[in-house]
């Protein structure tokens, strides 16, 4: 997907979930440390434009790599775009932050999330 200043958080979230239907993405005002979760109070509204959130944002084609480890994906998004993201995995009807399994790949997280819905 082409990431640029006029995309909204919702645009990124929707594209991420198209690739990984067992996962979702949220964006935050501040970074979280590896292995830790993000506070709900720091979550950004979905209608915000990326250019209004990050002065470092530049246009770049970005592919969501299923083989990428969650911690690396979150760090990559911060490094490339100045955006603080947290991956969530579906667990039946709940969404769990993947903080304790940040060493899993996006593909593994997605499979676990999808499997929880099919049980």
Domain ranges of the chain: 2-118
Whether residue 119 is predicted with pLDDT greater than 60 in this model: the reply is no
Q: What is the pLDDT of residue 118?
A: 67
pLDDT interval class at 19 (50, 70, 90): very high
Helix, strand, coil share (%) of the chain residues, nearest 5: 40, 25, 40
Asked if 87 contacts 73 with a C-beta cutoff of 8 angstroms, the reply is yes
């Amino acid at each position: 997907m082409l990431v640029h200043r006029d995309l909204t958080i919702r645009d990124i979230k929707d594209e991420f979930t198209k690739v990984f239907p067992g996962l979702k993405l949220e964006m935050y005002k501040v970074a979280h440390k590896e292995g830790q979760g993000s506070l709900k109070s720091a979550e950004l509204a979905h209608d915000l434009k990326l250019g209004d959130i990050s002065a470092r944002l530049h246009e770049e084609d970005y592919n969501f790599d299923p083989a990428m480890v969650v911690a690396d994906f979150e760090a990559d998004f911060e490094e490339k775009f100045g955006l603080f993201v947290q991956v969530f995995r579906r667990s039946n009807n709940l969404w769990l932050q993947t903080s304790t399994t940040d060493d899993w790949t996006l593909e593994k997280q997605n499979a676990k999330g999808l499997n929880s819905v099919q049980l």
